[in-house]
Structure 1
Amino acid sequence: MSNYILPPISSITSLDTQAKVQLLTHLFEKCETLTSYLVPELFNQNHTSYVNLIEAARSLLLKLLEGSDFQRINRIIAAHPRLGPQKQQLSSHSSSEQKSLAASSPEETEKLVSLNEEYEAVFPGLRYVVFVNGRSRASIMENMRKRIDRGDVGLERREAFEAMCDIALDRAKKLGAKL
């Protein structure tokens, strides 16, 4: 896990842009599209807690869904790593969060890889995003199957943004925020 500690919530409006981007990268994932959208909107007001900050980010992300900038939306969602075996380097946060998915049979690993591929074929440009922490591999794969079968891209984008914010709340707690 990262050694990063969140700055006091009272100080975040005075952080420089690089520090704001770093803060958001620890709460969410590294994503220039996300930070370029959130930094100007999120840090122009005082927040009473990290819960308040993340809920403001949730509102901004959900508001983005009201428009038609699907490329921007998809880039934000695709910044999250795939679940299971990785070709790309995971952030220290994602690596820790996905530990429950690591220990399994080769058949389960193959099934998760296959589900990721099927998900991305049904929802081009998206990644399956879910709050994994503490959930079993079987439960995650069952959820992924239901979402693939549902086939509703609008609902997928919404669920991804909701999950990203739920993950951010969990990360904030682990990074020393008083929630």
Structure 2
Amino acid sequence: MPIPPLEEVQSHEDALSKTLATLFEGSPILYNDLSPQVFAHLQQRTNPVSSYAELIDVSLHIISQWENTLKAQFIAGHPRIGEQKNLSHLSAQEQTAYATPPEVIIRLAHLNACFEHRYPGFRYITFVNGRTRSAIMEEMEDVLGLERSLSADQPDVESVGQVEVGGVPWTKELERAVQDVGKIAKSRLKTLGTE
């Protein structure tokens, strides 16, 4: 699944959209907002971007200028940790590098629900970097301040509490997620053999 040549990406918006969808995951916010804004930025530059990594950096800079609600929509374009259906080829590769016991998949589904209750409007995203789903499960428990468990329904979702949308903890987690999406995109360049 090669991405278009960099010259084509910078001169044709559909090639840019395809590339950004491969690197960041396709979503309405990517096609309707990010791609047109990145394309407009590329057309105004005096020098073309010199690498796909620089293209990712340009994209992240544009995302950093967005309101938080748009950033949250962008994050929601990525699949939930542990999801097994409707994954892009690269997401499937990243999330299934290791065999995962069914109880871990079930626990991750519960942790996703807990996270999305605590941080309304977006989902948990992390740079997997070859880690197992079990390791990510423990990371999510740490983020939520939960004890280690394989429970499918404990603690109760509402008991994890909720942070204020736009408040400091919510915004800090959102910014961390955006940065991890950038790490994921750069890691995908290596997977694609393009840097």
TM beyond 0.5? yes
Larger CA Rg, structure 1 vs 2: 2
CA deviations on 1:112-139 (whole Å, 9 max, x unpaired) are 1111110111112211111113112232
Q: Distance in 2 between matches of 1:19 and 1:60?
A: 18
Aligned twin of 1:54? 56
Aligned twin of 2:73? 75
The 3-state SS of whatever aligns with 2:15 is: helix
Runs of 4+ in 1 over 4 A off after TM superposition: none
Distance 1:10-1:85 versus aligned 2 partners, 3 A rule: closer
Aligned match of 2:176 in 152, 159, 164? 159
Q: How many angstroms does 1:106 deviate by?
A: 3.0
Q: Distance in 1 between matches of 2:109 and 2:36?
A: 37
The number of residues matched between the two structures is 168
TM-score (norm 2): 0.77
The 3-state SS of whatever aligns with 2:109 is: helix
Q: Which runs of 5+ in 1 are unaligned?
A: none
- Output the aligned Cα RMSD: 2.0
TM-score (norm 1): 0.83
Aligned twin of 1:145? 141
The 3-state SS of whatever aligns with 2:65 is: helix
Q: How many angstroms does 1:140 deviate by?
A: 1.1
The 3-state SS of whatever aligns with 1:154 is: helix
CA deviations on 1:48-93 (whole Å, 9 max, x unpaired) are 11111111112222222xxxx333222111111111143x411111
Q: How many angstroms does 1:36 deviate by?
A: 2.7
Matched AA of 1:74: A
Identity %: 34
Q: How many angstroms does 1:111 deviate by?
A: 1.6
Q: Is 1:116–1:128's contact at 8 Å kept on the other side of the alignment?
A: yes
